[in-house]
């Protein structure tokens, strides 16, 4: 009855995560959603009332999205070192729809799609629908291991395979928390040129920086070959599902077809409220508020890891975002049930691999729980891992 394309998609990891984050007393490091107590409720009430005055907020918008919002977003991209214009912006329903639009537009069955190992598993599910030939490249503390990527590209070329695109979350990666250095962003851009593939840069966490220096987007290094995905989910609210795609102008017409045939346009009301939020300078204020709230939580988790974890456990040192990635000496799939019984949840690392999953890793979210529970949760985990 079901199509092969939908039947092929394994969503068990997502279901498992969703069931874990709904547990009451358990200290949850499993989530990845923003804290609702940090939503700017007062501003939202005012913006919603103001947007409601305008009948156009309830009309269809164009498929690319509200022109004024696209102008604001184009200006906003400058902070990531990207010079662009509204013609290169399409407003999407979440960056999730951006991923789908890219896959629909570019991936034929059997095309090579390179992903990071580990990577964001919902993106894997989305690409899977388009039946690609997944290949993966490992990460280290500075993002994609460029030498390994070059080896992979050489091997694929020798096998007569062409690479269609590479999907990366280069800044505060989900799940690993690491950020690709500018040197590597430049090297990635050069490889994309040499081997003629597209880069899909997914950057929903980029503004959540609590340490270190800002980096330029990958798109700043490879403007003609990068589709950049931005999102308001983590810096405003996810419920409006407002996000955007920023791509070279010559790709926009076909990307627009991909969106038009999916949902005609993005929800207009959310676009109008988001436009007001940006125009009034409230986005800046909210980003500041989030950094102040999340930064100390990240520091608390890193300190607790240092204090409680046994010698044979390693973890990444993020400069922002929402996640720390642990490599342990145990099978984290098998350990999960016992962890939840003892009162702490995480996401097993195996969920984040397109191929050959490692079973000794886990993703920890540090933005959801309060600091005292973060310490206690890390202590409980350390007991299990010792």
Binding region for ligand PLP (CB under 6 A): 32, 94-96, 120, 169, 174, 202, 204, 231, 233, 238, 243
Q: Where are the alpha helices (DSSP H) in 37-181?
A: 41-52, 67-76, 94-106, 121-129, 146-158
| 3-state helix/strand/coil string of 251-285 | HHHHHHHHHHHHHCCCCHHHHHHHHHHHHCCHHHH
Q: Which is nearer to ligand PLP, 93 or 375 (CB)?
A: 93
User: Residue 322 Cβ, how far from ligand PLP at the closest point, in Å?
Assistant: 8
Smaller CB separation from ligand PLP, 229 or 313:
229
Least distance from C-beta 314 to ligand PLP, angstroms? 22
Minimum distance from CB of 205 to ligand PLP (Å)? Answer: 7
Q: Which residue is nearest to ligand PLP (CB)?
A: 94
CA torsion angle for 106, 110, 112, 114 (degrees, to 10)? Answer: 90
For residue 96, the minimal CB distance to ligand PLP (Å) is 3
Q: Which is nearer to ligand PLP, 32 or 223 (CB)?
A: 32
Nearest to ligand PLP of 241, 375 (CB atom):
241
Nearer to ligand PLP, 101 or 191 (CB): 101
Least gap, CB of 106 to ligand PLP (angstroms): 17
Q: CA-CA distances (angstroms) from residue 13 to 125, 127, 219, 241, 334?
A: 10, 15, 30, 22, 14
How many other CB atoms are there within 10 angstroms of residue 176's CB atom?
A: 27
Minimal distance in Å, beta carbon 173 to ligand PLP? 8
Residue 365 is inside which H or E element, if any? strand 361-365
Q: How far is the CB of 56 from ligand PLP (least distance, A)?
A: 24
Cα 189 versus chain centre, distance:
20
Judged by CB, which is closer to ligand PLP: 17, or 374?
A: 17
Interatomic CA distance for residues 382 and 297, integer angstroms: 18
Identity of the residue, 308 or 366, whose beta carbon is nearer to ligand PLP in the bound complex: 366
- Which of the 8 DSSP states describes residue 209? B
Which CB sits closer to ligand PLP, 237 or 339?
237
* Crossing angle (nearest 10°) for helices 249-263 and 94-106: 110
DSSP for 153-191, please give it. Answer: HHHHHHTT--EEEEEE--SS-TTT-----HHHHHHHHHH
Give whichever of 47 and 208 is closer to ligand PLP, judged by the CB atom. 208
d(CA 6, CA 345): 29
Q: How far is the CB of 239 from ligand PLP (least distance, A)?
A: 9
Q: How far is CA 55 from CA 51, 105, 268, 269, 293, in A?
A: 9, 33, 10, 10, 36
Distance of closest approach, residue 311 Cβ to ligand PLP, in angstroms: 31
Identify the CA nearest to 219 among candidates 211, 207, 227, 208: 227
């Amino acid at each position: 009855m079901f199509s092969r394309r939908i039947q092929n998609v394994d969503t068990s990891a997502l279901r498992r995560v969703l069931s874990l984050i709904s547990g009451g007393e358990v200290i949850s490091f499993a989530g990845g959603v923003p804290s609702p107590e940090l939503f700017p409720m007062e501003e939202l009430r005012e913006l919603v009332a103001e947007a409601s005055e305008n009948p156009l907020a309830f009309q269809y918008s164009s498929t690319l999205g509200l022109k004024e919002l696209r102008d604001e977003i184009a200006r906003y991209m400058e902070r990531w070192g990207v010079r662009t214009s509204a013609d290169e912006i399409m407003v999407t329903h979440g960056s999730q729809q951006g991923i789908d639009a890219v896959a629909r537009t570019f991936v034929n069955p059997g095309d090579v799609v390179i992903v990071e190992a580990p990577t964001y598993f919902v993106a894997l599910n989305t690409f899977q629908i388009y039946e690609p030939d997944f290949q993966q490249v490992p990460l280290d503390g500075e993002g994609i291991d460029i030498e390994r990527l070059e080896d992979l590209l050489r091997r694929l070329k020798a096998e007569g395979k062409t690479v269609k695109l590479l999907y990366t979350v280069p800044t505060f990666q989900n799940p690993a928390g690491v950020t690709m250095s500018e040197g590597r962003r430049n090297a990635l851009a050069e490889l994309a040129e040499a081997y003629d593939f597209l880069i899909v840069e997914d950057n929903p966490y980029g503004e959540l920086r609590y340490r270190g220096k800002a980096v330029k987007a990958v798109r700043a290094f490879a403007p003609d070959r990068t589709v950049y995905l931005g999102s308001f989910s983590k810096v405003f609210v996810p419920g409006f599902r407002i996000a955007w795609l920023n791509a070279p102008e010559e790709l926009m017409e076909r990307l627009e077809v991909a969106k038009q045939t999916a949902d005609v346009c993005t929800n207009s009301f959310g676009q109008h409220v988001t436009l007001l939020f940006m125009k009034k300078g409230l986005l800046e204020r909210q980003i500041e508020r989030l950094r102040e709230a999340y930064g100390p939580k990240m520091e608390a988790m890193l300190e607790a890891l240092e204090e409680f974890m046994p010698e044979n456990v390693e973890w990444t040192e993020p400069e922002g975002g929402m996640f720390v990635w642990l490599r342990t000496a145990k099978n984290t799939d098998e350990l999960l049930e016992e962890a939840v019984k003892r009162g702490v949840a995480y996401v097993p690392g195996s969920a984040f691999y397109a191929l050959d999953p490692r079973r000794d890793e886990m993703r920890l979210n540090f933005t959801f729980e309060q600091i005292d529970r973060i310490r206690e949760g890390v202590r409980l985990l350390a007991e299990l891992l010792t």
